[in-house]
Amino acid sequence: MTDLTLVIDDDPSFNAILVRTLERRGLPTRGALTATEALQLASETRPTRIILDLNLAGASGLALIPELLAIEPACRIVILTGYASITTAVDAVKLGAVQYLAKPVEIEAILAAFADTGPDFALPPPDAPLSVDRLEWEHIQRVLNEHDGNISATARALKMHRRTLQRKLAKRPVRD
């Protein structure tokens, strides 16, 4: 295992910027744009840290977590996503990710996530319950995950028209 960070994100600009930023911080870093490239790089370099985008060209980055951990069990994986949901956060942690961060994210938050040794159970519960819109978003994400990202199957399960579901998924999640 080398002291290397692997950035896996299908957005070439974001990937390059993140790689450059981490290297400026003194962390040797490589970037991968696809799952295949990521697995090959991970096998060759055995990274200590991995930054993984949740959505890789329409496929779920969650599926990569077990494969990456099989290559290097001691690596620490941080998930980044533009569409955060509680369901996918829980799934990511269950699969072995150490942290789940919503984009846009500061580099300090990513570095802190790698340094974090575990969850802070001393945090107080939120003051207000989730809004109805946020609860709907979370429920859709849970059902979508149960159907492995299949929009048509999810729409049938939710008794919703597929186009309506697609419109809801195209929107950013509702902030609390």
Task: Render pLDDT for 2-49 as a digit per residue (tens, 0 to 9).
Answer: 689 999 998 899 999 999 999 999 999 999 999 999 999 999 999 999
The full set of domain ranges for the chain reads 5-115, 132-170
CATH number of 132-170: 1.10.10.60
Q: State how far the Cα of 22 lies from the Cα of 28, in Å rounded to an integer.
A: 7
pTM exceeds 0.75 for this model: no
**Long-range Cβ contact pairs of 155-159 (< 8 A, separation 24 or more):** none
CATH architecture, range 5-115? 3-Layer(aba) Sandwich (3.40)
Strand order across the beta sheet in which 49-53 lies: 29-32, 5-8, 49-53, 76-81, 99-102
Residues in Cβ contact with 93 at an 8 Å cutoff, skipping those fewer than 6 apart: 100
Q: What is the pLDDT of residues 98-140, one digit of tens each?
A: 998 887 788 888 988 888 755 444 445 556 666 777 778 777 8
